[in-house]
Amino acid sequence: MNSKVPTKRDQRAGNNAPQAMSSARSDDHVVQLWLRGKSENSRDAYVRDVSAFFAHSGTDLLLVKLEHLWAWDENLRRDGLAVSTRARKLAAVKSLLSFAHRIGYTGFNVGAAVSLPRIPDMLAQRILSEEELGQILALDMPMRNRLLLRLFYASGARVSELVSLQWKHVSARTTRDHVSGQITVVGKGDKARNVLLAASVWKDLQVWQAEELQAGYGQASHAVFRSSRGGPLSRQQMWRIVKAATRAAGIDKDVSPHWLRHAHASHALDHGAPTHLVKETLGHKSLTTTSKYSHARPDDSSSTYLDI
C-alpha cells in the first residue's frame, strides 16, 4: 500500500522532536507504524485523509503547527463538506500526531489543542420505516442483489463485513425451534462474531449457493457476493446496489448500506429484542469470555425478531 506522506530532511525539525528517542526513521515510517493493526478499509481512508492534509499544508510531520490544522479545517469548511466528514478527516490527522508524539518522534502533540467539530445526532433521520424496507425488499431484481439487501438488513452487518464474507463463513444451524444457518463476520478490530439468520434468509442463501456452485463458484474460498469478474463485490458496488434499489422503490432519501444496519437495530428493538442481544449481534462492543462460548453457536439473535 502506498502511504507516502510528503517529507523533508529531519534536520529541518530541530525545534520539534529529538528523533533519537524513536525507532521511526521518517514521516513515512511513522505512518506505516501508525497503520498497523487497522483494517484495510480503515488504512485506505486514513492514508487519503492524512495525505490530503500534508498536501494542503506543504509541510512534514515534524513541522506541523496549529495554523496548519486550522487552515486545513477552514479549507474543508469552504469545500462544503458535512460536519461528520470534517470531523473524520481531522480525527485521522489528530490520531497520527498523537501517535507520533507517543513514540517519541515529535516533541509535543500539536493536535491535542484542536477540538473536533460537534456532530449533530441525525440517527433518527437515517432509520427507514418497516414499510420502506418492505418496498425495497419487494422489488423485482437479480437474486444476488435481493439477497444482499436482505442480508444487510437481516444481519445488521457493515458493508466491509459483507464485502469479505466467503462461503466458508456460512454454516447450517439447528436450533430448538427450526433449521437455519449462521454467518461469521469480522468486524472492527478484527473481532469475529456469529449471527444467526432468520429461516427465510437462510433458505435464500442456500438457493443462491446452489446457483453459484452451478456457475463454478460457491466453494469455501469464494465470495458470497461476487462481481461479474468473479471477485468479491467492492464497497462501491454494494453502495450502488443499495442506492439503485432505494430509487426504484420510490424512496427519496440518500440511503446507504449502513441505513439497513440502523434499521435492523431499530426494528428489532421495536419487536422486543433485548438491548444486549442487538448490541452483540451488531458487534457494538466486545464480548465477555463467557459469552464467547454461547455466541460461537448462537441459539438466538436479534435477526430472528425481524419480520423478514
Mean pLDDT along residues 241-260 = 91
Contacts of 14 (CB under 8 A, 6+ apart): none
Q: Which of 261, 262, 264, 295 is catalytic?
A: 261
CA distance 285 to 132: 29
pLDDT score at 285 = 63
Count of CB atoms within 10 A of residue 248's CB? Answer: 13
Q: Which residues make Cβ contacts (< 8 Å) with residue 240, sequence separation at least 6?
A: none
pLDDT band at 293 (very low <50, low <70, confident <90, very high): very low
Catalytic site residue from 88, 188, 203, 243:
188
Q: How large is the average pLDDT for residues 211-222? A: 93
Q: What is the band of 282 on the pLDDT scale with cuts at 50, 70, 90?
A: confident
pLDDT at residue 298, rounded to an integer: 61
Tallying the residues shown for the chain, one arrives at: 308
pLDDT at residue 12 above 60?
no
Residue 123 pLDDT > 50, yes or no? yes
pLDDT at 288 over 50: no
Choice among 158, 222, 262, 267 that is catalytic = 158
- The whole-chain average pLDDT of the chain stands at 83
Question: pLDDT at residue 291 above 50?
Answer: no
Q: Out of 38, 88, 203, 284, which one is annotated catalytic?
A: 284
Mean pLDDT over 187-200 rounds to 85
Domains and CATH numbers, the chain: 10-113 (1.10.150), 124-305 (1.10.443.10)
Partnered with residue 172 across adjacent β-strands are 181
How far from 87 is each of 3, 121, 222, CA to CA, in Å?
21, 13, 37
CB 71, CB 56: distance < 8 Å: yes
Residue 265 has pLDDT above 90, yes or no: no
Per-residue pLDDT of 42-86, as tens digits, reads: 888 899 999 999 999 999 899 999 999 999 999 998 888 888 889
Residue 188 designated active-site = yes
| Catalytic-role residue among 25, 271, 293, 297 | 293
Give which of 182, 201, 203 is closest to 192, Cα–Cα.
182
Closest-CA residue to 56 (of 98, 109, 111, 93)? 93
Q: Is position 158 annotated as part of the catalytic site?
A: yes
Q: Is 258 one of the annotated active-site residues of the chain?
A: yes
Question: Which candidate in 169, 243, 258, 279 is catalytic?
Answer: 258
